[in-house]
Amino acid sequence: MEPINEMQLAEPGLVVVDVAALEDATAFSFQQALASRWATATADRTTHDPGQPGVGLRCYLDLRQDSTPDTKPMTGGPSSC
């Protein structure tokens, strides 16, 4: 994997995630789980270092942007009753 660039973490809430997995399917499943929760720049391929087991994948998360629908009920202002 390439070194993490300072710009990739320029603000609070930005995260670089390096994933190590046995095979592509597991790495992509984990990435999808992250992407279903947060705004994520996803990878479209994994990497493999010759002579090393498994694959690697890097994705970028923005924890400031929750991509899940808000499941909390809306609350109104003070009651006018």
pTM: 0.69
Contacts with 39 (C-beta within 8 Å, 6 or more apart), sequence order: 61, 62, 64, 65, 66, 67
Beta-ladder partners of 56: 20, 47
Measure the CA–CA gap between 61 and 14, rounded to whole angstroms: 6
- For the chain, the domains span 10-66
- Summarize pLDDT for 4-33 with one digit per residue, the tens: 666 556 678 888 889 999 999 999 999 999
Quick: pLDDT tens for 44-59: 999 999 999 999 999 8
